[in-house]
Structure 1
Amino acid sequence: GVSSIEFIPTILEFSFNYVFNEGTNMIFEGNVVQFTNFAIHCINLMKRILSNNAYSFSGKITTSTDISQATKAKMDFFTPERINYICEKIITHYFLLTQSELDAWDEDPESYASDEGGDSWKYELKPCTETFFVTLFNQFREHVIPEVVRYVQKAQVTTLTEDSDLKDILLKDAIYNAAGLGAYNLFGEVDFDQWFTSQLLDELKIKNNNFRIIRKRVIWLIGQLTGVKFAQSLRPQVYAACLELLKPEEDISIRLTASKTLMSTMDDFEFNPEAFLEFLEPSFFLLFSLLKEARECETKMNVLNIMSFIVDKMSNNIYTQMNNLIEYLPLLWEESVDHNMLRCAIISTLLQIVKALCDIPAKLAPFLYPVISISTNLKDPSHVYLMEEGLELWLSVIENSSTMTPELMQLCDNVLPIIELSSENLRTVLYIIQSYLLLSPQIYLERHGTNVVNVCASLLSDMRPEGICMIMKLFEAFLCAKPEFAIELLKPVLPDVFKNIIENKEYSLVMTMYLSIMARVLLINQGVFSEILQTIQQPQALANILDIWITKLPLVAQTDKKKLLSLALTSLITAQNDAIFERFGYIILKICETLNDIMKDDDDTGILTDSLVFSETMDFDNNSEMWPLATNVEFEYKTHHYERCRQLAMEDPVHKIALKDYLQCQIIALKNQIGNERYQNLMMSIDPSVLSNLTDFIDIGVTIQATS
């Protein structure tokens, strides 16, 4: 078959002729395109040929010969003269606003402002020509740049006044459109700062009716320029200009454009919050008025998104504005009863506020709790849309609360139904439970502990390893936060944990979690440990568990877990049990291996110390090894939750007890229990190299035979 590549010259000639050249008189009447769809199709064909390297209109794979043939056809057609001619036609013809566009603006300024973006280039002439122009610009920069600069210079020397003709206004609008679309390619040729101060700012001040065209275009253009190259020192003047155009007496279409420029000008990695402080209050006031006036849900969401963005950008300075925002949001929530997407955006804004303040403002609390309740209550139909954002907000509210409140406690009723319904939000819900646990361990576990354990236990049978790990981490957090109380709560699930260890079928991360739970039980209460061993009614249960424990310990990757398992092993040294004496050498070997891992030279003293023991002043990083908890918190915010985590970690045996010291105590206790003679024999049964390693850390009171 004939390759479509052979048709490229024909397609280009045909499209060019009708859209830009002699043939235009066939599709235009006066200045208006009569065959719009035909024109759009031709322009999009040209754009596709321009931007495509694999010229396959049929879907067949193209060869490198095809590609070079296509590239040649493209270069042959787009000569410098032709490129200049096309640019001229686009700017002086296609970019001019038409009467029907101006009528649409008059009729519905709000939707006129939002008709930009998306896939509109496929079926609307203006966006279609704009994307073609950008493609042409990017492909032939060296030809298009001088052409556009020529037009910009022409516009720079044309001063418009109140009495300027509509024709001149439309041409300037078109030139500014071209400059904004090509801003990335122009910053080396045009001094944006100079242009802004000497011309653009003044053009925003002219108020007669046709000048709304220029005001809307100029504030859009400034947004394009600030995203490319623009002096920090001039940005406050841009903020001021945006606020001027956000005033209620201005056309809503212009206000919406100004709000977008405000956001894009702030969206800069060198953004300086101090420079924006004086604009913070007025921007909230004006954006909120705009939001209330907007009719369409999408417009409201866009404006709220900008407000939320400002909260985020100004997070450290937002305190002063909080009261205004706190007054706006409940009103908006009431207004948005039929717009779930807008409510999602409100919840996200609340999340930004709570994170920015690291606290729950008294004024906001009465609004926060009902919002969380509605969005996470399965009985409320809107939970379908609001659940995910609602859970994030809920988690953040607990993390930033300093005490448990009755309202927070009441929200707990929403927790379990969510994970009983589906595992979709399991992770966040488990974090929520854990955050409650840290906020008020005794109250939370007394009231909800049993139900949480029952529901989680019922979920375990159908879970993938990742889910099992998450639930075990939660159970481990229970054991850390309220050890004696949690052991009683967890009694129903512990026999299964022990059985799973003995069966030894689990994948390593899950196995590590089972072993960790078992180790914590042993460290908290040896009596309960023995009781569970009896319950599972397996002969040699302890011996089997020890063998797996000894085998698995070297495979545990996290050093904190390794230490936990070694502390628990150390606690068994004095348990007076044959299963332990028979494996004594292995037990000591494993504890030594852990000591070799965790003992590090102290930076200040050079003495070998247990690197996992925390000092009071220690700050934690995001390193998961530091935490006995499952955590999703990137600790950029020093929340109340962070402090609670830190306190809990301080109390954790892993971070409180030096393994070396505990081992020393246990070895002395063992010697006192069994007498020196039996003790010496027991020690001599250990491999001499292990004994020698052991004496690096503790005093064993045994003379080691030199190994020959």
Structure 2
Amino acid sequence: MALSASDVPTMYTVLVNSLSADEAARRPAEAALAQCETRPGFCSCLLEIISARGLACREDVRLLATVYFKNSINRYWRHRRDSYGISNEEKDHLRKNLLLNMREENSQIALQLAVLISKIARLDYPKEWPELLSVLAQQLQSADVLASHRVFMVLFRTLKELSTKRLAVDQKNYAEITGHLFEYTWNLWKSDVQTILQNLSMLSQRNDIDSVFEQSNDLALICDRWLLCLMIVRLLIFSGYASDSRTAQEVWQVREVCPTVLTAIKSLLPYYDTFKDKHAKLCDFAKRACTKLMKVLVTLQGRHPYSFVHETVLSATVDFCLNMITNPEQTGTTFEEFLIQSMVLVKSVLECKEYRPSPMGRVINENEPLSLEQRKKNFAAVASDMLKVILSGDRVVLLCNILVRRYFIFTAKDLEEWSENPESFHHEQNLVQWTEKKRPCAEALFIVIFEKYRELLAPVVVSVLREAMAISPPQETEVTAGMLLKDASYTAAGHVYYELSNYLSFNEWFHGSLSIEISNHHPNMRIIRRKIALLLGHWISEIKGDTRKLVYRALVGLLQDNDIAVRLAACSSLCYLFQESCFSELDLFECLPTCWTMSFKLIEDVQEFDSKVQVLNFISVLLEHAGDKVIPFACQLSQFFQMIWNESAGESLLQIQLLTALRTFVSSLGFQSPLSYHMLIPILQSGINIDSPDALNLLEDSVLLWEATLSNAPSIVPQLLDLFPYLVGIMNRSFDHLEVTMKIIEDYIIFGGSEFLKSHGASLANIIDTIVGNVNDKGLLTALPIVDLLIQIFPLEAPPLISSALQKLTFISLSQDDGQNPSRTTVRASSGAILARLLVMNTNFSAQLLSEPALLASIQQAGISVNNNLLFSLVDMWIDKVDDANAIQQKEYAMALSVILTLQVPQVIDKLDDILRKP
């Protein structure tokens, strides 16, 4: 029954009750809403509540109504078979009234309205809602700042949604939208930036900033609208045109927008410092605005690199960013987010493949239009010339020095964070996304600039390294500027080891400095010990001869360090060393006992997920290379794995890593794997139980572990035999793990023997019957060898169990080939070979199977001509398909035909010439 306007008060009451802290009121209200959301008119009632502004309607209830409305769009706006859907009449009503209610004072509700309008637009624009953008464009020109702001909020969300549609017609529509909206939006943005700068200049000279700013509510809205305009401009240029890296066609808006954006950055930057101690909101705005403006430049350079090639764009922007990186104090601006974006832009330009000059040089041809490739070469040549001017040798050396000497250096705050939580500090330095923190970003830029100017910069890095080692000797224990510079220089040397090996002897470096610093256990030396641990992992390919054994021992020693960050760094580098192609197994075996002990202790000491995964990965590497040398430690490792499994309950990602390690452990133990069964089988049982809460996440790795356990088992013990019924549930759920489950069944058949068939024959028959006829040809070819194996090993016992599957194989064998599908021919040949084997090994059952009236009837109903005798039809099939069969299948065909010939049936004797002519 449809809801109407008379139901709005009741709906309002239900929404109020659903927000109640009293569970007795909240639960029935939530249930009522769940029932109502499928009824026609539900969204219309919600829109009435959202539109009811004033004291009589609570804001939190209106907000909840927008959330329910938004969720209903996701579920019911499109008509699906499994949902009721919203009628076209109600949709039309909702679309019209939503556009009348955009001027919403509550910012949270306004945001939700913008999101839900954008979701509808993605589905309905332009076919069902052609007037949407024209209505928005009209309302953009409103003198009411709040109304204009809300329209821009809706427009931004809508354009963002539409930009994700990738069909050619949708991209064409977006290009048309860009043509209609860009000019007005861009002009408003330019106008607003002047208004903002004038107001900021005025406020910077006032002592009563707080009172003036609070009274001027329009300024805050204009600032926010200006940022929305900026994001809309970015979207229009980014998605309104194909990337010029493909078309080599200039996007004129890039040259129009980027210089103005750069000017705006330069104008706004000083206000960050101006308001830093005076007004938090204005300071935050200046910070946010400058960062977003720089992100726009980064985005447009990446999307339209050729349009960026202009003196007022590429040269000016890179020059500005380089100045910011090398001398931020000049502008008084040092906030991290802006410096990161400046580094990102320089890195993006240096990496840009479109700016790499062609060896052929620039193409000059005034008489004929240039081809696409010629235009690209010209752009690349111009860009290369610009970058040579901007990035002179001296400037590149300066940038390299600044990155190492300033941005690689640990600050007092860094060291304080390290002391408070070494584990978190380690992961933040090594696992954080490089664009999120200043130091990783500087390291990423350093790697790129070194790669481009390696011959120029290699001596510079070596010089910094030697300078640092000279002013901070190995025995120094005070945290001095020299020690911090040495840490920074080691960081640089680790990143560019591949080039420094031509300038620096690792053996001399290790024996003369690194080994001494590693053995210095003073707490302050953790800075250097951790960096050396990471450094050794980088320089792995340069560690030669006897030094390699010393490096192993040094890193194993660092696993015993008092600082967790140092131990985790050592753990990481040992993984690299043991995975390296020329590692020494003898050296590994020597340090194996210590590695196990220290790994067990480390995983007990760490708390964070990333740390536990790292240690488990290290243990997996050790297990992989230790082979049967792991057997003496089987008991310790079993206890360790059991403890980690118990402690990681509910942490699926960690348990997946553990299951992977267990698979390696079982493979290393080989036929000694029963030593671990007391730990292994309960874990395995938990992982393959499809009713367990984590089954979705753990099943794949658990099934792989199951197969590894069986393939390494010396025999099938009762505990392993009892696991088989879980396979029925897995196969009934899906065929995602078909290949590995067939290997599991094969292991059970071969090693379990008659005891397995007696205990689980019915379950096995269920699985085979589920597969045959329900999987595609590839899946069937995976499963058929199991049917063949069953008949080979249990020729008398197995066929009656799998009678249904054998009937399906008979049907498949006698069906017609699909000339467009070679795999169907292979399936027919394989199915026929199984029936041939059955005839040879259990002639009586074969005769019984082929005389089933139901089978004959179903084959005839499918239109397959069998002349009322399935055996003769099979003979024809064997003769016909013998060329498509493999060598073993051909032998099976031949034996089956030999058996039939002994029966001296006239119809078969007549085919003797055909049989003898076949190979």
Q: Output the TM-score relative to the length of structure 1.
A: 0.78
- 1:32-431 aligned within 5 A: 34-54=334-354, 63-118=376-431, 120-158=433-471, 159-162=473-476, 164=478, 166-226=480-540, 228-247=541-560, 250-431=562-743
Q: Aligned pair 1:530/2:851, yes or no?
A: no
Q: In structure 2, what residue type is equivalent to 1:486?
A: A
- 1:555-634 aligned within 5 A: 555-556=884-885, 558-590=886-918, 593=919
The answer to whether the 8 Å contact 1:162/1:207 transfers is: no
| Worse-matched range after superposition: 569-578 or 473-482 | 569-578
The answer to whether the 8 Å contact 1:4/1:55 transfers is: no
Secondary structure at the aligned position of 2:871 is classed as helix
The alpha carbon displacement at 1:52 in A equals: 0.7
Instruction: Calculate percent identity across the aligned residue pairs.
Output: 23
Moved over 6 A (4+): none
Residue-by-residue CA offset, 1:464-494 (whole Å, 9 max, x unaligned): 1112222322211111221221122222332
**Whole-angstrom CA distance in 1 between matches of 2:815 and 2:475:** 87
Residue-by-residue CA offset, 1:60-102 (whole Å, 9 max, x unaligned): 9982221222222222322221111111111211111111111
The alpha carbon displacement at 1:162 in A equals: 3.6
The answer to whether the 8 Å contact 1:504/1:548 transfers is: no
Q: In structure 1, what residue type is equivalent to 2:676?
A: L
**Whole-angstrom CA distance in 2 between matches of 1:250 and 1:196:** 22
The alpha carbon displacement at 1:268 in A equals: 1.1
Partner in structure 2 of residue 544 of structure 1 = 873
Structure 1 residues 373 and 232, CA gap change in structure 2 (3 angstroms): farther
Partner in structure 1 of residue 828 of structure 2 = 511
**Whole-angstrom CA distance in 1 between matches of 2:558 and 2:381:** 51
| Worse-matched range after superposition: 446-455 or 402-411 | 446-455
**Whole-angstrom CA distance in 1 between matches of 2:493 and 2:728:** 57
The answer to whether the 8 Å contact 1:160/1:169 transfers is: no
Secondary structure at the aligned position of 1:161 is classed as coil
**Whole-angstrom CA distance in 2 between matches of 1:67 and 1:570:** 75
Partner in structure 2 of residue 4 of structure 1 = 308
Residue-by-residue CA offset, 1:105-152 (whole Å, 9 max, x unaligned): 112111101113456221210000000000001111111111112222
The alpha carbon displacement at 1:232 in A equals: 4.1
Partner in structure 2 of residue 678 of structure 1 = none
Secondary structure at the aligned position of 1:522 is classed as helix
The alpha carbon displacement at 1:4 in A equals: 1.1
Partner in structure 1 of residue 326 of structure 2 = 20
The alpha carbon displacement at 1:452 in A equals: 2.1
The alpha carbon displacement at 1:331 in A equals: 1.9
**Whole-angstrom CA distance in 1 between matches of 2:586 and 2:515:** 23
The alpha carbon displacement at 1:160 in A equals: 4.0
The alpha carbon displacement at 1:587 in A equals: 0.4
Residue 882 (structure 2) aligned to one of 539, 549, 553: 553
**Whole-angstrom CA distance in 1 between matches of 2:562 and 2:416:** 18
**Whole-angstrom CA distance in 1 between matches of 2:723 and 2:629:** 31
The alpha carbon displacement at 1:360 in A equals: 4.0
Structure 1 residues 165 and 363, CA gap change in structure 2 (3 angstroms): closer
**Whole-angstrom CA distance in 2 between matches of 1:27 and 1:347:** 53
**Whole-angstrom CA distance in 2 between matches of 1:162 and 1:68:** 51
Structure 1 residues 338 and 450, CA gap change in structure 2 (3 angstroms): closer
**Whole-angstrom CA distance in 2 between matches of 1:321 and 1:274:** 17
The alpha carbon displacement at 1:519 in A equals: 0.9
Q: Aligned pair 1:499/2:811, yes or no?
A: yes
**Whole-angstrom CA distance in 1 between matches of 2:763 and 2:725:** 11
Partner in structure 2 of residue 603 of structure 1 = none
**Whole-angstrom CA distance in 2 between matches of 1:434 and 1:287:** 37
| Worse-matched range after superposition: 504-513 or 186-195 | 504-513
The answer to whether the 8 Å contact 2:515/2:554 transfers is: yes
Residue 469 (structure 1) aligned to one of 766, 771, 781: 781
Q: Output the TM-score relative to the length of structure 2.
A: 0.61
**Whole-angstrom CA distance in 2 between matches of 1:163 and 1:492:** 79
**Whole-angstrom CA distance in 2 between matches of 1:364 and 1:461:** 39
**Whole-angstrom CA distance in 2 between matches of 1:410 and 1:163:** 61
Q: In structure 1, what residue type is equivalent to 2:622?
A: I
**Whole-angstrom CA distance in 1 between matches of 2:570 and 2:491:** 15
**Whole-angstrom CA distance in 2 between matches of 1:527 and 1:464:** 31
Structure 1: unaligned runs, 5 residues or longer: 29-33, 594-708
Secondary structure at the aligned position of 1:358 is classed as helix
**Whole-angstrom CA distance in 2 between matches of 1:246 and 1:119:** 23
Secondary structure at the aligned position of 2:490 is classed as helix
Partner in structure 2 of residue 673 of structure 1 = none
Secondary structure at the aligned position of 2:736 is classed as coil
**Whole-angstrom CA distance in 2 between matches of 1:261 and 1:39:** 31
The answer to whether the 8 Å contact 2:768/2:802 transfers is: no
The answer to whether the 8 Å contact 1:235/1:265 transfers is: no
The answer to whether the 8 Å contact 1:40/1:122 transfers is: yes
The answer to whether the 8 Å contact 1:294/1:300 transfers is: yes
Pairwise CA RMSD of aligned residues?
2.1
**Whole-angstrom CA distance in 1 between matches of 2:649 and 2:810:** 51
Q: In structure 2, what residue type is equivalent to 1:68?
A: A
Q: In structure 1, what residue type is equivalent to 2:522?
A: N
The answer to whether the 8 Å contact 1:238/1:262 transfers is: no
**Whole-angstrom CA distance in 2 between matches of 1:461 and 1:514:** 12
* Greater fraction helix: 2
The answer to whether the 8 Å contact 2:475/2:516 transfers is: no
| Worse-matched range after superposition: 384-393 or 455-464 | 455-464
The alpha carbon displacement at 1:37 in A equals: 1.1
Q: In structure 2, what residue type is equivalent to 1:4?
A: F
Q: In structure 1, what residue type is equivalent to 2:354?
A: A
Structure 1 residues 517 and 173, CA gap change in structure 2 (3 angstroms): same
The alpha carbon displacement at 1:254 in A equals: 0.9
The answer to whether the 8 Å contact 1:166/1:210 transfers is: no
The alpha carbon displacement at 1:165 in A equals: 5.4
The answer to whether the 8 Å contact 1:360/1:397 transfers is: no
**Whole-angstrom CA distance in 1 between matches of 2:774 and 2:629:** 48
The alpha carbon displacement at 1:36 in A equals: 1.1
**Whole-angstrom CA distance in 2 between matches of 1:448 and 1:397:** 19
Partner in structure 1 of residue 284 of structure 2 = none
| Worse-matched range after superposition: 474-483 or 68-77 | 68-77
Structure 2: unaligned runs, 5 residues or longer: 1-251, 256-306, 357-371, 819-823, 857-865
